[in-house]
Structure 1
Amino acid sequence: MSRKSVNGPQMSQQPSPSRPQCWECRRRRHVCDGMQPVCAKCQTARIVCPGYADKRPLTWVTPGQAMSRPRKAKPSSKRNTAQKSCNDIRDRGRLPIRAAPSTSQSPGTGTESDSHTEELDLPAPVELRPEVCDIIDAMLYYNSHIYPDLIRHQLGPNSFVIPLTIVENCPPAITHTLVSITISHRILQVAEDPASDQAVKPLWTRLYRHRDIAVRVINKLVADEKTRKDIATVVSVYTLLFAMLQQSFKPCWRTHVDGLMSLVRLWGSLSAIIQAVPGMELSMMALCIVSVLANTTSPRDNQLQVASTEEILSLSQTYYTETFFPSIPMPPALFAELVLINALRAEAPSDTATAEAELILSRIESFDPQTWSATRPAAEREDPTLQADWLLIATLFHAAVALYAILSLQSSGALPCSSASSSASSYSPSPSPSTSQQSPETKRLESELEIQLELSRARHARQLFALLESGMSAPRVRKRMTWPLLVAGVEAASRGASWEVQRYIGACLSEMGRDQGSAAPGLARRVLERFCLGGGSRWDECFAEPFALVM
């Protein structure tokens, strides 16, 4: 039988003189007959002949099929452990594919190995960074970004502003919490919308990782009776609390405060810890300051009690100064009145509460920012810019504290509201038991008090709004504007101020959040926006749940 009848298409009976080898015969290590256009052996085996081209054609490989296996290293070879790990990760990121030989090699050699492959580089699997890398990175970031910014905007010597130099002897929970704080600062300064920005998603992963490590360590310390009362445990929980205040976009901070206060009660009180442990006055006084400011933005029936009013006032007289806590440069006299206002808010309305409220307002009105700023240390008075900043701060906080006293005490019922304010909202405080039995003289005096309160409120509101732009344009003052902006926002919404004013306050808070690297100002902006859209006019309507918006 002729070859033609067997193999189908007619082809040359004699192979070409060069005896080319088709790629399939090479792979199978057969002697190719070199027939054109296709190899007869491939046709007989019912295989599609790949031809005689100079380059090896691509071949379909079944998924999961191994084309080659790397040789094992000789037992005598020694490699660095870290390098071996890196190489293993890199090798796992490569996939072999069939590849053609170099064009410089003759296709007729017939000596190519079946294991000839070409490696395809793919992204290596994600590897978690070593913890020490994040710790060193956090130290470098703090010392190069956060610390210089704090020094540059410092109003005076402050024990809170120190560089991070050595964390070797720092407890693990505090170390990982500090790392999470620096990562959070970086996220909040870079991203326009930190919660949804994909560019900072890897940073959030690192933040949660270190926070998780810190929480696990703290849980072990608290669960062990031997370490539960240690000062390292108290400071670890304290540090985590302030980290949550900086990072959280939701008011979930009270659980951490409750945990911290449970540990404090093991020592007795804040004063007992301060007396027993040198250097703890900084931390405990900062906790008092944050709690006082948090109570201003919390419901009157849900106040945070880290200590009694008398103890807070005593600690304030001993340790508090306007430069003690970086973000609250409030004059000590005004801070003491703030403590008393919070205590009075929590009381039921009565004639005694009204009389005490009037005394508080009279003391606030008698405060003179000009006189107070003139009593600053001589070194500060020699700097005209610093002297102007202190005067601006004193004036801002004077107006803000006076407005807060009127708004919050009217909302609680300790001070009477004008008819205009009462009709602006459906909410009304509980009346005094003797309201229905007031004499004409008492009603006249109350009416005069209402007029005085409205005049005082309008005067302080004008002063506060007039100074907002000046405060935001002064670099050192801008860092301390969160609480005055909060008071201004409530006043603007309750008075029905223009949208331009309310948008300006919101924009200032957003800018402060990026400037400070803190989530609290952004949360304050959302609280004010909700209050404005709700049409409320009372202080307690704005803060229906406890917030800590200044830290």
Structure 2
Amino acid sequence: MRIGNQDQIREVVERGQHWEAAALLQSNQDPLAKIQRLLRIMQVNKLPSYDFLSDETCEVVHAVNYFNTRIYPYIKETDVLAPNPAIIHFPVWALHVLPPAAHYTTICLSLNHYMHSLPPGSSRVVVGQQRLKIYNYRGLAIRALNESIAGKETRSSDLTITSILMFMAMEVHDSRNGDWRSHADGMKRLIDIRGGFESLLRTAPHLTSALVVFLIIVTFSNSLGPASHHLSITGPLEQHIKEVEKVYSLVFPYTLCPVTLFIDIVRINRLRQEVALSSFANQYQHTSEAKGILARIEGFAPGDWAQAGENQDDWQLIGSIYQSAIALYCAMSLQALVVLPADTEMGTMRTNHAKRLLEDMKAAVHLKQLKKIAMFPLCVLGVEAGYHDQQYTRLWIERQLEEHAHLLGTSSPLKARAVLRRYWRRNKPGWNECFDEPFTILVPAGAC
């Protein structure tokens, strides 16, 4: 596909030459109809020709080249176990059919990655220059998004939804001062305007990849924050679980999490929210449901789930990591709400899973494809490390987070480290003691 700018596309449409449209699209399948539709999308969304944006255009081309040469190869290297069809080589021609907000966000994403990939001891002047650029383009992206949302025709358009998702994911990657939650709330309102999550999946299947990333961000951010601040994509729990199951083949390459365990995270999140917002004083009414979730997690068999073949041991390790991490999340987060008892039996279970999780995480250190899924288990392990004074474990977690920040080119692991350090200094164990503010410190590599 060799798309030109909007003026060039308009000229081709006006001339109405089949061969010319086919050459532009590099396709003989209804080229005129396709290029006419493309022009309508550009006009409805009021996309500029970009001819007047010489400086920004140069920057965004550099950003795309950076993604293609630095970010994309690493993502594909970590996709060996489960290739992700949503992660593609960014075609430069696509810049002409993307709104300005997407351009500015792409620049911010690449600059963030570059800045956090710099070796330790790099010039503060260089870092400062990059951060100033990020602030500038972040501001331009916000302005462009506000203009799209203000327009009646563009408020809930496909391109606006995609642009907001890109920006929100970028904010999570550079979670220094980003207000990711306001963007998530806005995204939820736009999805509702379009009929809800399931309706949008059905009527706009080309948005599925974007909606999958939104689902991942919301699910994990709900787990790493106060129960009263959870964001529900869909009201009825069972309906939401059906939505998750419907798209899970696209969720899996990002998380490598067994579907049953991922759904258990969703169930734990919703139970925490219900308990926190409940007007009843007796929280033990939810104990039976909590114990049922924990029993289901405990009954998961990593060996049975592991896919046969040359990577079977890696799959079993992944299954074991997630089982222990989610069992610990279930136990500690629901104990914090007095839904599960803080008795000797639960304490033994917590200790055993923490020990196995630490061993599994150490065994996975050399596997690049596991780097992108390590954030959630490391955060869970960090909370459990607050129950005892084993400095070695805490230091090991800190080192892993620092390494991940450099490898993934994101500040999210550094934010996780700061949250855990603050929690450890309090010397008061418990899930709510650690995550007393809404945090999104996990985004799988390549999520945006």
Q: TM-score, normalised by structure 1?
A: 0.66
Residues in 1 aligned to 2:421 and 2:299: alpha-carbon distance in whole angstroms:
33
Q: Give 1:191 deviation, angstroms.
A: 5.4
Aligned residue type for 1:455: T
Equivalence for 1:505: 397
The Cα offsets for residues 184-223 of structure 1, whole Å up to 9 and x where unpaired, read as: 11111115489x9322222223222322222211111111
| Aligned partner of 1:241 among 158, 168, 173 | 168
| Aligned partner of 2:362 among 458, 466, 469 | 469
The Cα offsets for residues 246-273 of structure 1, whole Å up to 9 and x where unpaired, read as: 1121462111112212222211211111
The Cα offsets for residues 34-88 of structure 1, whole Å up to 9 and x where unpaired, read as: xxxxxxxxxxxxxxxxxxxxxxxxxxxxxxxxxxxxxxxxxxxxxxxxxxxxxxx
Residues in 1 aligned to 2:112 and 2:178: alpha-carbon distance in whole angstroms:
17
Determine if contact 1:159/1:324 at 8 Å carries over to the other structure.
Answer: no
SS of 2:373's equivalent?
Answer: coil
| Aligned partner of 2:374 among 467, 478, 481 | 481
Residues in 1 aligned to 2:193 and 2:155: alpha-carbon distance in whole angstroms:
9
Query: Is 1:317 matched with 2:245?
Result: yes
Q: Give 1:414 deviation, angstroms.
A: 0.8
Residues in 2 aligned to 1:273 and 1:212: alpha-carbon distance in whole angstroms:
29
SS of 1:279's equivalent?
Answer: helix
Residues in 2 aligned to 1:281 and 1:139: alpha-carbon distance in whole angstroms:
22
Cα 1:205–1:325, aligned 2, differ >3 Å: closer, same or farther? farther
Equivalence for 2:291: 358
Determine if contact 1:160/1:325 at 8 Å carries over to the other structure.
Answer: no
Task: After TM superposition, list the pairs within 5 Å mapping 1:180-199 onto structure 2.
Answer: 180-190=108-118, 192=120, 197-199=124-126
Equivalence for 1:217: 144
Aligned residue type for 1:491: E
Aligned residue type for 2:85: S
Residues in 2 aligned to 1:453 and 1:193: alpha-carbon distance in whole angstroms:
45
Q: Give 1:129 deviation, angstroms.
A: 8.1
Residues in 1 aligned to 2:406 and 2:133: alpha-carbon distance in whole angstroms:
20
The Cα offsets for residues 118-144 of structure 1, whole Å up to 9 and x where unpaired, read as: xxxxxxxxxx98122212211211111
Residues in 2 aligned to 1:537 and 1:369: alpha-carbon distance in whole angstroms:
29
Q: Give 1:347 deviation, angstroms.
A: 2.9
Equivalence for 2:384: 491
Equivalence for 1:397: 322
| Aligned partner of 1:532 among 407, 419, 424 | 424
Query: Is 1:372 matched with 2:305?
Result: yes
Aligned residue type for 1:261: K
Residues in 2 aligned to 1:325 and 1:207: alpha-carbon distance in whole angstroms:
31
Determine if contact 2:149/2:155 at 8 Å carries over to the other structure.
Answer: yes
Residues in 2 aligned to 1:247 and 1:129: alpha-carbon distance in whole angstroms:
26
Query: Is 1:333 matched with 2:266?
Result: no
Equivalence for 1:292: 219
Determine if contact 1:174/1:214 at 8 Å carries over to the other structure.
Answer: yes
The Cα offsets for residues 399-442 of structure 1, whole Å up to 9 and x where unpaired, read as: 10011111111111111113xxxxxxxxxxxxxxxxxxxxxxxx
| Aligned partner of 1:207 among 107, 118, 134 | 134
Determine if contact 1:489/1:528 at 8 Å carries over to the other structure.
Answer: yes
Equivalence for 2:349: 456
Residues in 2 aligned to 1:261 and 1:149: alpha-carbon distance in whole angstroms:
31
Aligned residue type for 1:411: A
Equivalence for 2:24: none
Cα 1:549–1:234, aligned 2, differ >3 Å: closer, same or farther? same
Equivalence for 2:337: 412
Equivalence for 2:209: 282
Residues in 2 aligned to 1:406 and 1:130: alpha-carbon distance in whole angstroms:
53
Aligned residue type for 1:504: W
SS of 2:233's equivalent?
Answer: coil
Residues in 1 aligned to 2:233 and 2:368: alpha-carbon distance in whole angstroms:
33
Residues in 2 aligned to 1:314 and 1:326: alpha-carbon distance in whole angstroms:
19
Q: Which moved more, 1:270-279 or 1:324-333?
A: 324-333
Aligned residue type for 1:157: P
Residues in 2 aligned to 1:317 and 1:326: alpha-carbon distance in whole angstroms:
14
Q: Give 1:541 deviation, angstroms.
A: 0.8
CA RMSD of aligned residues (A): 1.9
Equivalence for 1:74: none
> Percent of pairs identical after alignment?
29
Determine if contact 2:158/2:207 at 8 Å carries over to the other structure.
Answer: no
Determine if contact 2:385/2:393 at 8 Å carries over to the other structure.
Answer: yes
Which runs of 5 or more structure 2 residues have no equivalent in the other structure? 1-52, 276-281, 444-448
Equivalence for 2:57: 132
Query: Is 1:156 matched with 2:74?
Result: no
Cα 1:173–1:251, aligned 2, differ >3 Å: closer, same or farther? closer
Q: Give 1:307 deviation, angstroms.
A: 2.1
Residues in 1 aligned to 2:240 and 2:119: alpha-carbon distance in whole angstroms:
38
Residues in 2 aligned to 1:183 and 1:242: alpha-carbon distance in whole angstroms:
14
Equivalence for 1:303: 230
Equivalence for 2:11: none
Residues in 1 aligned to 2:345 and 2:177: alpha-carbon distance in whole angstroms:
38
SS of 1:314's equivalent?
Answer: helix
Q: Give 1:234 deviation, angstroms.
A: 1.3
Q: Give 1:365 deviation, angstroms.
A: 0.8
Q: Kindly tell me the number of residue pairs found equivalent between the two proteins.
A: 381
Cα 1:205–1:351, aligned 2, differ >3 Å: closer, same or farther? closer
Q: Give 1:497 deviation, angstroms.
A: 3.0
Query: Is 1:231 matched with 2:187?
Result: no
Residues in 2 aligned to 1:536 and 1:248: alpha-carbon distance in whole angstroms:
25
Aligned residue type for 2:69: S
Residues in 1 aligned to 2:203 and 2:385: alpha-carbon distance in whole angstroms:
46
Aligned residue type for 2:324: A
Determine if contact 2:84/2:254 at 8 Å carries over to the other structure.
Answer: no
Equivalence for 1:522: 414
Residues in 1 aligned to 2:125 and 2:252: alpha-carbon distance in whole angstroms:
34
Task: After TM superposition, list the pairs within 5 Å mapping 1:141-180 onto structure 2.
Answer: 141-154=66-79, 155-165=81-91, 166=93, 167-180=95-108
Residues in 2 aligned to 1:250 and 1:358: alpha-carbon distance in whole angstroms:
38
Q: Bigger relative contact order, structure 1 or 2, given CA contacts below 8 A and separation 6+? A: 2
Residues in 1 aligned to 2:198 and 2:121: alpha-carbon distance in whole angstroms:
41
Aligned residue type for 1:218: L
Q: Give 1:476 deviation, angstroms.
A: 1.2
More helix by share: 2
Aligned residue type for 1:396: I
